[in-house]
Structure 1
Amino acid sequence: MSHAETPSDIAVVGLAARLPKAAGPGEFWQLLENARSAVTDVPAGRWEGIPDDIRPLRGGFLDGVADFDPEFFGISPREAEAMDPQQRLVLELGWEALEDARVVPAALADTRTGVFVGAIASDYAGLVHRHGLSAVTRHTLTGLARGVIANRLSYLLGLRGPSLTVDTAQSSSLVAVHLACESLRSGESELALAAGVHLNLTAETAVSAQRFGGLSPDGRCFTFDARANGFVHGEGGAVVVLKPLAAALADGNRIHAVIRGSAVNSGGATAGLTVPSARAQRDVVRAAAGRAGVDPRDVRYVELHGTGTALGDPIEASALGAAYGAGRPAGDPLLVGSVKTNIGHLEGAGGIVGLVKTVLAITHRVLPPSLNFATPNPRIPFEELRLRVVTALRPWPHDDRPLLAGVSSWGVGGTNCHVVVGEAPTTRPTAAAAGGAAAGGVAAVGGP
C-alpha cells in the first residue's frame, strides 16, 4: 500500500554509499541486517602521534582511503594527489548513485541538476600544511577548498544547478538533503544529488573530540542505554539522487523511497553553545511532520541522531516523545535506533547515512537492530514517552499501512534537521527490485 502523492513529495531514485566494512549499499544492508559492528582498532598509519593517555581509541574506518582512479574522471595524477580525498570520494559516489538511478552521467550536461554536499572536516589540509610551503602547488587552492567538494561533481558532469558544500556541523548532510528537496520543490533544480562525506585523517580529529568529552572511553556507542558515555568516530560517505515524485513516476523511474517533508531550525540560546534544546528538537520534528502532511502517530520508526551521550540521549528522547509519542497507545510505541552503534559517528555525513539506512529498511520492509542496548537509560521514561529501541531484526509494525519513518540529525552548535520518509506509491517491491537497491561499486562503463 502507499499514500496519495502530493506535489511536494521527492523521490529517492538512486543511492550510493561507502562506509566502514561496507563498499556499497548492499554490503551496508548486510552489516545492518546481521547486527554487525564495523568499529575496529585504529588502522596503521592513522592518528599517529596521539598521546598515550588518549589511547586506546577505536572507530569505523574505510579501507583504501588513498585509492583513486584519476584517469576515469579526467584528472591528472598530479592534481589528484593535491585533492582532498573527500573530493575524490564524492566524485566516485556521485557517479555510482547516478548509475543506480539508471541515469547516463553525460546526459546531465547543461541541465538544472543541483549538488548539495554536507562536509565539515578539513583533515587533508592539515596534513598538507604540516609539510610547509614546499607542499603547496598550483593545485593546492582547489584541492583543499571544502566548497570545491560539491563543485568537483558539478564540473565533472557539466551541471548548471546549485552547487554548494553545506556546513552546519554534525547535521550538515541532512541539511543538504533538505536544501536539495527545497530546490526541487521551487523548480530551481530538476534533479539533485545530495551527499555527505567525512574522513578522519589526523590525530587532531581524535584529540579534539576526546578533550571536548565526546568520545566513549569504551570505544562503543551505547545509544539510549544506561552505559551511554560518548560516541565513536566513523567515516565514509553517501549520495542520494532526488527528483520530484511526479516526474519520477512519469519517467518510469525506480523509486527507493519518498521524502515527504523536512525542516531545519536552531536551538537558540541554551545553557551552553553545545547544549541541545529539547524544545527546538521537538519543534523541528513537528514541523517536518506537518510539511509532510502526516499524522505523527502514523510514523512507525525514527532513525535517531543517537550519539550515545549522557546529555544528548535523554534530551532527544524527550523531544521525540513530545512530537511523536503523544496519543500513541501504550502497546504501539515509536520504534527507534541509531546506525552510529554499527559504524560510529560520521559527523558531517552522519545524517545522510541515517537516511540511507532508513531507505534500505523501507525497501526491504524490515527494521535492523540498534546495537549495544542492554539496560534502558534510567533518565529516559520509555513507557511514558512511548519509545522502544529496536534490538532485533523485525518487521515494520502495521505493515498493512504505508511505511513512514523519521530521520534526525543535530549539529553541535544547535542546527537541527528532521526528514520524514516513506515508501514509494507503488505496489510492494519484488525481491529483484529490492535487490537493485543494493547495487554498489564504481562501474566501468567509460569515463565522463
Structure 2
Amino acid sequence: MALCGGVSCIIQPRVFVALSKAKMISPEGTSKPFSSRADGYGRGEGCGVILLKTLKQALEENDHVWGIMRKTAVNQDGRTVTPITKPSVVQQEELLRRIYSQSDLSTVQYIEAHGTGTPVGDPIEAGSISKVIAKARPPGSETLCIGSVKGNIGHTESAAGVAGLIKVLLMMKHETIVPSLFYSEDSASIDAKALNVKVPTKAEKWGDSVERVAGINNFGFGGTNAHVIVKQHKQSQVSRKSGRKSHKYFVLCDF
C-alpha cells in the first residue's frame, strides 16, 4: 500500500510576492478556466491524500474502491520552452498520444484539465486535448467534456493534482459532471464547438455506460506534464467477509 497526496499552505509572503511581480496572479484572486476574463490564477490552500493498493488486494480485503488508475504517464520539456511558464504544445500532445490507445479514445468521456485560468495556458491545453483526444474519437462518440476544479477552489499548486483526482472520483460516485465556475459560452477563451469539446455550465448526469472513464491533466511550473486515466469501479453489492478484524485509525498530532 502507499499513501500519496499533496499539501499546499500559504504561510510566507515570498512566493506570493514573486508570483505577483511576474503577473501570474489574478488581481481578483480567482482562477477562471477557459474564460476570456482569465487574468492569472487564484492561489488556493488544501491537503488531499489517497490510499493506493492493487485492485486484487483491495477486493480480497473487502475495501471500498473509489476508482482504478489504468494508466499514468509523465514527460518534461522545460529546458526548451521560453519563457519557462509557457506550456509546451509539442510535449502536451506527445504525452497524450503516448497514453491513449484507440480503445481509450472510445471510452473516455471527461478530461479534468489543468485549467489554471491563464490567457496563454488554457487555449494551448484545450487545443492539445482537442487534437489528440476529442477529434480522434470514433465517429458517433458523444462530445468530450472538460473542466477544471481550480475555478472552485483556486490553484492549490502542489496539491492541485490530487485535488483534480478527488474531484473526478467524487463525480464518478455521484454520477454527475459538475460545472466549471466562471465559464460561459459568451465569455469563453476557446471555441469549444470547433475543438469538439464541451465545458459544462451546470451539473449534468454522467450518462449510464458500461464504465465511466476520465483523464486528468496536470502540469508543473518547470515544464513537467503528467496525465492519468481513471476508470470507475462498480462495487459488488455482495459483501464478502475477509476474516480479518476491523480496525479504527486515529491520527494524533504533536505540535
Same fold per superposition (TM over 0.5): yes
- 2: distance between equivalents of 1:230 and 1:344? 11
Give structure 1 stretches of 5+ with no counterpart: 1-190, 430-442
Q: Residue in 2 aligned with 1:298?
A: 107
Task: Work out whether 1:386 is the aligned partner of 2:196.
Answer: yes
- 3-state SS, counterpart of residue 247 of structure 1: helix
Relative to 1, partners in 2 of residues 1:244 and 1:444: Cα closer, same or farther, differing over 3 Å? Answer: closer
Shift of 1:323: 1.9
Shift of 1:265: 0.2
Partners of 2:34 and 2:188 within 8 A in 1? no
Task: Work out whether 1:196 is the aligned partner of 2:6.
Answer: yes
Q: Residue in 2 aligned with 1:412?
A: 221
CA offsets per residue over residues 391-430 of structure 1, 9 Å max, x none? 1111114x2220000111101110000011011153589x
Structure showing greater relative contact order (alpha-carbon pairs closer than 8 Å, 6 or more residues apart): 2
Q: 1:208 aligns with which of 18, 29, 49?
A: 18
- 3-state SS, counterpart of residue 384 of structure 1: helix
Q: Residue in 1 aligned with 2:164?
A: 354
Percent identity of equivalent pairs:
35
Partners of 1:215 and 1:229 within 8 A in 2? yes
Q: Residue in 1 aligned with 2:243?
A: none
Shift of 1:213: 1.3
Shift of 1:294: 4.0
Relative to 1, partners in 2 of residues 1:318 and 1:219: Cα closer, same or farther, differing over 3 Å? Answer: same
Partners of 2:119 and 2:189 within 8 A in 1? no
Q: Residue in 2 aligned with 1:327?
A: 136
User: What does residue range 33-72 of structure 1 map to in structure 2 within 5 Å?
Assistant: none
Letter of the 1:310 partner, please give it: P
CA offsets per residue over residues 361-403 of structure 1, 9 Å max, x none? 1111111111011245665232222111121111114x22200
Q: Residue in 2 aligned with 1:217?
A: 27
Relative to 1, partners in 2 of residues 1:218 and 1:331: Cα closer, same or farther, differing over 3 Å? Answer: farther
- 1: distance between equivalents of 2:171 and 2:113? 14
User: What does residue range 14-25 of structure 1 map to in structure 2 within 5 Å?
Assistant: none
- 3-state SS, counterpart of residue 71 of structure 2: strand
Q: 1:257 aligns with which of 58, 67, 70?
A: 67
Would you tell me which structure has more helix in proportion to its own residues?
A: 1
Q: When the two structures are aligned, how many residues end up with a matched partner?
A: 242
Relative to 1, partners in 2 of residues 1:220 and 1:248: Cα closer, same or farther, differing over 3 Å? Answer: same
User: What does residue range 233-272 of structure 1 map to in structure 2 within 5 Å?
Assistant: 233-268=43-78, 269-272=80-83
RMSD: 2.3
Partners of 2:84 and 2:222 within 8 A in 1? yes
Q: Residue in 1 aligned with 2:210?
A: 401
Partners of 1:297 and 1:324 within 8 A in 2? no
Letter of the 2:106 partner, please give it: R
- 2: distance between equivalents of 1:224 and 1:284? 21
Q: Residue in 1 aligned with 2:94?
A: 283
Further displaced range: 379-388 or 208-217: 379-388
Q: Which runs of 4+ in 1 moved over 3 A?
A: 327-331, 375-379, 425-429, 443-448
- 1: distance between equivalents of 2:86 and 2:63? 43
- 3-state SS, counterpart of residue 237 of structure 1: strand
- 2: distance between equivalents of 1:316 and 1:302? 11
For the pair shown, the structure with the greater C-alpha radius of gyration is 1
Shift of 1:444: 7.7
Partners of 1:267 and 1:281 within 8 A in 2? no
Q: 1:311 aligns with which of 120, 140, 150?
A: 120
Give structure 2 stretches of 5+ with no counterpart: 239-247
Normalised by the length of structure 1, the TM-score is 0.51
Shift of 1:279: 1.9
- 2: distance between equivalents of 1:410 and 1:271? 16
Q: 1:231 aligns with which of 38, 41, 44?
A: 41
Relative to 1, partners in 2 of residues 1:281 and 1:262: Cα closer, same or farther, differing over 3 Å? Answer: same
Partners of 2:192 and 2:199 within 8 A in 1? no
- 3-state SS, counterpart of residue 211 of structure 2: coil
- 1: distance between equivalents of 2:48 and 2:251? 22
Partners of 1:262 and 1:289 within 8 A in 2? no
